[in-house]
Structure 1
Amino acid sequence: MAGHVEDRWWREKTDEAGEVVLNAKGKPVREKTDLYGKGMRYRVRYYVSRKERSSSFPDGKLRRAQAFLAKVQTDALTGTYVDPDAGKVRLRTYVGQYLKGQSENYATQRRYKSMLENMVFGYFDDPFLADITHDEVRNWLEWMRDKGGKRVMSATYRGQLFDMLSAILNAAVEEGLITVNPCKARSIKRPKVERRKIVPWPEEKMWAIRAALPEIYRIAIPLGAGLGLRQMELLAQSPEDIDRDRGEVNVVRQIKWIDKAPVFAPPKGGKPRVVPIGEGVLAAVDEHMATFEPVTVTLPWLTPGGAPETVRLLINKAADGRQRYNAGVRARLWSGDGFHTGVWRPAFTRAGLAYMKQWDGMHALRHLFASLMLEQGVSIKELSEYLGHHDPAFTLRIYTHMMPSSHQRARLASDKVFKVPTLANAA
């Protein structure tokens, strides 16, 4: 790459013929230019893709200017050069392009945009990519943690936002718009999630909550604790999803609410799965259907404008005997928050139990399911598949403390052969 450092304050003196004037030692005589003492003294001029670029440096910084030119030339040779003007792309503009290459799931796209709008653009506004510095990222993390002097977001949520911004800036680096991702600096740490050991409910608590639920919603207990379904999978469960011959349940959908409109969607992660169903859970389903007729619901698939899909659902909101004023499909379907506040939490009050936010959400049924499976010797790999986790290692991190001790299993194995009465008789 061609380039040179230009001194804007001094130049070589020339005579009337345009020849350079030399001194007694044969070196060029220098004279002040009209710009002497004004603005930046040194200008580095270089060419990239046949286009001239320049960068200016103040008086006394000649070596810095020379070092800059050397680095630009080296970066051009090694293919790591980034045009300083490339980073003059607005964050909001780049995010709009970036999201086009992400999840095709409409609900996920809406969630990304909402998170970015509130917690990224809410702080950064709309800077150029090149202006997002390490200090700005640190200040943003502090703003999220202590916004308004209060802890308004969990470390898990802040970690998701940090990962999202880091992924966006990583993409900008890969596309040659910026040289480094400030989120990757060693001095910047991802929000640390405090992982608490999950304590599964005792079975007595499960039965107490079941008894306290309105009869029409008691089926939620065996669907959650007996099949490990998530809340919105549970509310989208159909009797047609049960394969009675094979003793299996096909978990193929959940309900999502997008802009206050419900849609059917694949389970979390877009991954349908098969879960064994025991005789007790099957009997509970049959008992429920003998009393409450499944409700037929037609919803669009994936997006509010998606292809309609008609399904019979086990849980019918409209048949619970409560007077409501909403009509249509919303009268027959619960949202996640609506079911939690209108059905789930009141059951704790009726059961005389204190509700603990971190332990007593409907996810507690999945944790109980996991503990029961591990207790019966189900492997982590199988449990991961039943729960619909993306990776058995993730399942292991959550539930490893629930696994029976290897010492305990070894003792039980030994006791099957070497029992005390057997040894006594042998003597």
Structure 2
Amino acid sequence: MLESGGEELPVRSLVLLDDPGRHAELVRRGTYISPVAGKITLRAFSESWLASRTFGPTTAEATELRLRLRLHIWPVLGGKLLSQVTPSVIQSWVRGLKGSASSKKIMLTLLSPILGAAVDDGLVARNQTHAKSVKAPEPGKRKIEPWPAEQVAAGRAALPGRFQIVCDLGSGLGMRQGEILGLATTDVEWLRKGGAVVHIRRQVRIVGRRMVFAPPKGGKERDISLPESVALALAAHLEEYPARPVTLPWLEPGGQPVTVALVLTSAIGKAVNRNSFNTFQWKPALGKAGTPASRDNGTHALRHHFASVLLHGGVDVRALAEYPGHSDPGFTLRAYT
């Protein structure tokens, strides 16, 4: 059965139209959903949902949510009407997402409250992410084998001098690659009372083949104590390779330009492209150091070394999760113990 506009009505709505008694009963109970209620697109509704959140529209959390919506949810589901976002559509979308099982699960977790709000607003009858047929992929269970100190030192020595700071910040502070590439001199408080601190405020990421500044992963800024060994390495790096001002758009190509003095830049004073670094600097260095160029031996291995050092030093799992920015202490426990 079609509406006058030619669009097919949801099955539940067809039953209601053909059964006036049932329609009246659902209206009395407050559970009636209008046949036209689901005519708003997921993108339009999620825009209003995002605007209604308690955090400000320019906060790190808001910009990270918008980025995830724009990159992972809107391209496939954004143009669909809310009534068209069925369990089978959701499961197909999850299956087609790129990335790890845990990242797919995060995207499904983001979609769920949006559809939940649509239910609360009376636009759809149920949150289809809760359907039995919608299943989030389970992350593979494997233990991480952190690099020993000797392997970190060998990798560092094999890198060109300009890029050795990547090993210092990754293994000494647990910073992600994008966070290292986005670190500015103003993010370092050398003389802070109680000890020097590094503020993790941004990362460099690639959107549509363009580099942009963006909030740290998950939109969560954090502070990391700066140990003397890393402070000395950082000071030596800045003396040899002075910070250079770099301007990149915020969050997406065409976004508001942001200029900061980056700790690590290319030889011509530009932001370092992670793909170029991985291909022309990191992988050759692994080969020189005798380390296989595998997925487990990316720059993330430096974070694993950092976490393992803290764990063996007696730091409890919950505190350990906060240092590298893990959102789930359980992940830290499963990965390193």
* TM-score normalised per structure 2: 0.78
Q: Which amino acid aligns with 2:105?
A: G
Counterparts of 2:165 and 2:263, CA distance in 1: 8
1:399 matched to 2:337: no
Partner SS for 2:39: coil
Counterparts of 1:269 and 1:212, CA distance in 2: 32
**1:218, CA displacement in angstroms?**
0.8
Counterparts of 1:135 and 1:273, CA distance in 2: 38
For residues 185 and 266 of structure 1, do their structure 2 counterparts lie closer, same or farther at Cα, with a shift above 3 Å needed? closer
**1:140, CA displacement in angstroms?**
4.9
**1:369, CA displacement in angstroms?**
0.7
1:112 matched to 2:69: yes
Q: 1:130 aligns with which of 79, 83, 108?
A: 83
Deviations 1:38-93 (A, max 9, x none): xxxxxxxxxxxxxxx9722xxxxxxxx4xx724x3443333222223312334455
Q: Which amino acid aligns with 1:306?
A: Q
Counterparts of 1:138 and 1:315, CA distance in 2: 41
Q: 1:371 aligns with which of 286, 308, 325?
A: 308
Q: Which amino acid aligns with 2:17?
A: S
Deviations 1:349-387 (A, max 9, x none): 222321121x11212111111110111112334323322
Deviations 1:174-207 (A, max 9, x none): 1111111222122432222223222211222111
Contact 1:197 1:398 in 2 (8 A): no
Q: Which amino acid aligns with 1:224?
A: G
Contact 1:301 1:309 in 2 (8 A): no
Q: 2:21 aligns with which of 47, 66, 69?
A: 69
Q: Which amino acid aligns with 1:120?
A: L
Counterparts of 1:339 and 1:106, CA distance in 2: 26
Counterparts of 2:77 and 2:270, CA distance in 1: 36
Partner SS for 1:219: helix
Equivalent residue pairs, number: 313
For residues 365 and 139 of structure 1, do their structure 2 counterparts lie closer, same or farther at Cα, with a shift above 3 Å needed? closer
- RMSD, aligned CA: 3.2
Contact 1:248 1:274 in 2 (8 A): no
**1:222, CA displacement in angstroms?**
1.4
Aligned to 2:146: 200
Q: Which amino acid aligns with 1:374?
A: L
Larger Rg computed on CA atoms: 1
Q: Indicate the larger mover: 208-217 or 297-306.
A: 297-306
Partner SS for 2:37: coil
Q: 1:336 aligns with which of 266, 274, 283?
A: 274
Structure with greater proportional helix content: 2
For residues 94 and 204 of structure 1, do their structure 2 counterparts lie closer, same or farther at Cα, with a shift above 3 Å needed? same
Counterparts of 2:94 and 2:183, CA distance in 1: 40
Q: Which amino acid aligns with 1:344?
A: W
Contact 2:165 2:233 in 1 (8 A): yes
Contact 1:235 1:254 in 2 (8 A): no
Aligned to 1:348: 286
Aligned to 1:236: 182
For residues 69 and 198 of structure 1, do their structure 2 counterparts lie closer, same or farther at Cα, with a shift above 3 Å needed? farther
**1:307, CA displacement in angstroms?**
6.5
Counterparts of 1:276 and 1:96, CA distance in 2: 37
Aligned to 1:318: 267
Q: Indicate the larger mover: 228-237 or 159-168.
A: 159-168
Aligned to 2:245: 296
**1:400, CA displacement in angstroms?**
5.0
Equivalent positions of 1:88-99 (< 5 A) are 88-99=39-50
**1:286, CA displacement in angstroms?**
2.9
Contact 2:63 2:219 in 1 (8 A): no
Counterparts of 1:338 and 1:111, CA distance in 2: 24
Name stretches of at least 5 consecutive residues in structure 1 with no aligned partner: 1-52, 57-64, 146-151, 320-330, 404-427
**1:333, CA displacement in angstroms?**
0.8
Contact 2:200 2:221 in 1 (8 A): yes
**1:161, CA displacement in angstroms?**
3.9
Contact 2:41 2:80 in 1 (8 A): yes
